Amino acid sequence: MPALLEIQNLHTEFRTGAGTIHAVDGITYSVNAGETVAIVGESGSGKSVGALSILRLIPDPPGRITQGTVLFGGRDLMTLTEEQMRQVRGSEIGMVFQEPMTSLNPVLTIGRQITETLEQHRGVDRATAQKRAVELVGLVGIADPIRRLKQYPHQLSGGMRQRIMIAIALACDPKLIIADEPTTALDVTIQAQILELMKDLTHRLGIALIIITHNLGVVARYANRVNVMYAGRIVESGPARAIYHTPRHPYTIALLRSVPRLDRPRQARLDPVEGQPPDLTRLDAGCSFRPRCRFAIAACAASRPRLEATSNPGQSAACFRADELASLTGTNEAALAGAPA
């Protein structure tokens, strides 16, 4: 069976005064129907741009998708007309953004912001849309839906607003939901609730989920497969368990050490990845992680490693020393200790 979503060699760049930023620099991955795939990486690694590129929501100018195909249900989204693309957005693919405080329109009621999606894509009348909105708000675990629908975003807490965003994403029974750091802006206790809710709903309704996060701790619990991004590329990918236990890229190893724990305040990071993320306008021909890599060798400066299969089945890494790393670091017990149960 073909994958639900197949991204091949996707490139997105921004032309700015300081030069061209290759925010997404040739990523390839797929998502099967009903599965949850995590995209992990530091801030600025191109996770959001990669996600927005799927829906062709990159602000142009300064951004442009320059290359690649995004097959969704067999159709290449990159070749659709703007009108065809619009019919995919919000209907077949739902999106949940990082900032619940600013992602809802402050002057429209919650109800209106849910029903308009239904009216747009389903052509239903207001009453039908209203009934479905009540159902959706109940589904995302908000009590007293009828009252809530009449309220405005500022009257709801951050967690509540994110639930509304999820309800909007769910409205038209999408096949795929893309959640861009849906919990980063929320309280630690709320974070877990929202993640549980998304896991529960996508499993129950058979919706595929791309969950973007910079927290590898989230991944093991919620994702089937993981793509680790660094400087606009996927540097490691594979089953969540495998990435977690036997990481094969030095960046993944460093990330695992920096996992914040859900049971501790957010400030109590273990060990942030050392060094600065690279300047995306001036990458050289070598491995982009090289300046921060403990394992770098001469070959790493000469050319850029490609994402290739490792000795672990299903696991790929873009590192010349991927297979050596297994013996150099052993399993990742130390990092595991910091992960949520």
Partner 1 sequence: MYLYIIKRVLLVIPTLIGAAALVFLLMRLIPGDVCVIRLGSSGGTFDPKAVALCHQELGMNRPIWVQFFDFMWGIVRFDFGTSMWSGKPVTTEIWARLPVSLEIALLGSVLATVIAIPLGTLSALRQNSWLDVFVRVFAIGGIATPSFWLGIISLLIVLDLTSFFLGAAWMPPIDYVPFFEDPIRNLSMVLLPAITIGYRYSAITMRMTRSTMLEVMREDYIRTARAKGLIHKLIINRHALKNAMLPVVTLIGIEFAFLIGGLVVTEQVFNLNGVGRLFVQAVQNQDYTLTQALVMMTVVVFVFCNLVVDLLYAWLDPRIRYS
Ligand X SMILES: Nc1ncnc2c1ncn2[C@@H]1O[C@H](COP(=O)(O)OP(=O)(O)O)[C@@H](O)[C@H]1O
Residues that bind ligand SF4 (CB under 6 A): 250, 287, 289-290, 293, 295-296, 300, 305, 319-321
Among 154, 203, 266, 294, binds partner 1 (CB under 8 A): 154
Does 62 participate in binding ligand X (rule CB under 6 A)?
yes
HEC string for 117-183:
HHHHHHCCCHHHHHHHHHHHHHHCCCCCHHHHHCCCHHHCCHHHHHHHHHHHHHCCCCCEEEEECCC
Among 253, 179, 256, CA closest to 212: 179
Among 225, 186, 178, 208, CA closest to 49: 178
- Cβ of residue 93: shortest distance to Mg ion, in angstroms? 17
CA distances to 41, 46, 220, 254, 318 from 251, in Å: 9, 15, 17, 5, 10
The 59-98 contact track toward partner 1, x by CB under 8 A, reads: x--------------------------xxxxxx---x-x-
Q: What is the separation, in whole angstroms, between the first and last Cα of the chain? A: 33
Q: CB under 5 to 8 A by kind: which of Mg ion, partner 1, ligand X, none does 236 bind?
A: none
Q: CB under 5 to 8 A by kind: which of ligand SF4, ligand X, partner 1, none does 14 bind?
A: ligand X
User: Tokens 């850029």 belong to which residue?
Assistant: 304
The 21-50 contact track toward Mg ion, x by CB under 5 A, reads: ---------------------------x--
With beta carbons less than 8 A apart as the criterion, state whether 182 and 194 touch: yes
- Cβ of residue 288: shortest distance to ligand SF4, in angstroms? 8
CA distances to 74, 79, 159 from 235, in Å: 26, 27, 32
- Cβ of residue 160: shortest distance to ligand X, in angstroms? 24
Q: How many residues does the chain have?
A: 341
Greatest alpha-carbon span in the chain:
67
Q: CB under 5 to 8 A by kind: which of Mg ion, partner 1, ligand SF4, none does 105 bind?
A: partner 1
Does 165 participate in binding partner 1 (rule CB under 8 A)?
yes
Closer to partner 1 by CB, 104 or 209: give it: 104
Residues 312-341 that bind partner 1 (CB under 8 A): none
Partners of residue 94 on adjacent β-strands? 177
Site for partner 1 (CB under 8 A): how many residues? 29
- Cβ of residue 213: shortest distance to ligand SF4, in angstroms? 21
Count of CB atoms within 10 A of residue 107's CB?
Answer: 8
Residues that bind partner 1 (CB under 8 A): 55, 57, 59, 86-91, 95, 97, 99, 102-109, 116-117, 120-121, 152, 154-155, 165, 168
Binding site residues, ligand X, CB under 6 A:
14, 16, 21, 23, 41, 43-49, 59, 62-63, 280
